[in-house]
Structure formats: structure tokens, C-alpha cells
């Protein structure tokens, strides 16, 4: 069980790298020194995931159970093959970036360059139900691809 979870975690981390390029922004934060010239300056630190403390971590498995109950009735019956489900999910990821990014050129290029490896990893580690779940949610712009992949994989694990 741990080996499969470790492989899934490695694949998810690789996918997070793809999505990281779409997570830029500078909300207010703690000033930190900026470097690059001889004059010291201050800038705002961008922290996308503020610390909540150990006692207030999200219940990801609970969220996945709720997602399962909400999405299961909407999944195709019968489910597509792993290849077809993964192909549809990867296509929906590209479409999401095209629709939501001002210039999705970099994301499209990265996804195009990693498509064959992503397809193989998806077929090995992602159930057709999970890939179909991700595709449905991507079509609705319900979140970032790596987050949806994590939640749908928890909701519909590969058996």
C-alpha cells in the first residue's frame, strides 16, 4: 500500500510542478529583503498556503468522501477504459489552462512535452473513475488540476 501511495505522491508532485507556473501572484504578506542591486529594499512575501497549525489541518479524506458522494452519480456508466479516461482528463487540463490563463503558452508547451509520460502514469496510478471525476471538475473550472487529481484519486482509488 505504501509503495503505491509513494508512486502516486511522486506522480502528483510532478504534476504540481506543471501547475505551479499558474499560481503566481503577490498578495500582502510579511516584508522580506529583496536582492538584486546594492540598495537594500523591502518587498511583500507571497505565501499561498498560510500555516493553520497542526490542530487545524484540512480533512482531505473527509473532503474526498463528500466529493465521491457528489460525483459518483455523474460518472459515465460504464466507465471508459483507463486510456480513454486519462486522455480525456489530460485534454481537459489543457483546455482549463487555455480558458483561464492570459497566456497559456508555457502551460500548453509543458503539458505537450510531458503528455506521453503523464498518460502512462495516469494509466498506472489513476482509476478510470478518478480520471473521469477530474475531467468533470476541470470542465466546471472547479479547481487546479493537481488538487482535483488528489481529491478524485482519494475519492475513487485504484483497486
**Structure confidence by residue, pLDDT tens digits, 121-150:** 999 999 999 999 999 999 999 998 999 999
Give the residue-averaged pLDDT of 25-42. 47
Q: Is the pTM of this model over 0.95?
A: no
Candidates 67, 72, 27, 64; CA nearest to 47 is: 27
Confidence grade of residue 103 (pLDDT, cut at 50, 70, 90): confident
Which three three-digit cell numbers place residue 117? 509520460
Provide the H-helix boundaries in 21-127: 60-71, 82-100, 105-125
Beta bridge partners of 44: 31
Amino acid at each position: 500500500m505504501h509503495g503505491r501511495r509513494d508512486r502516486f505522491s511522486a506522480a502528483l508532485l510532478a504534476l504540481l510542478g506543471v501547475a505551479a507556473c499558474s499560481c503566481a501572484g503577490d498578495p500582502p504578506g510579511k516584508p522580506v529583503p529583496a536582492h538584486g542591486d546594492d540598495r537594500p529594499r523591502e518587498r511583500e512575501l507571497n505565501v499561498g498556503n498560510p500555516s493553520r497549525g497542526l490542530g487545524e489541518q484540512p480533512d482531505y479524506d473527509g473532503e474526498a468522501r463528500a466529493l465521491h458522494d457528489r460525483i459518483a452519480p455523474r460518472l459515465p456508466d460504464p466507465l471508459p477504459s483507463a486510456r480513454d479516461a486519462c486522455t480525456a482528463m489530460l485534454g481537459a487540463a489543457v483546455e482549463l489552462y487555455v480558458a483561464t490563463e492570459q497566456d497559456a503558452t508555457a502551460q500548453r508547451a509543458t503539458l505537450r512535452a510531458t503528455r506521453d509520460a503523464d498518460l502512462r502514469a495516469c494509466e498506472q496510478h489513476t482509476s478510470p473513475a478518478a480520471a473521469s471525476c477530474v475531467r468533470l471538475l476541470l470542465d466546471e473550472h472547479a479547481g487546479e488540476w493537481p488538487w482535483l487529481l488528489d481529491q478524485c484519486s482519494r475519492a475513487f482509488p485504484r483497486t
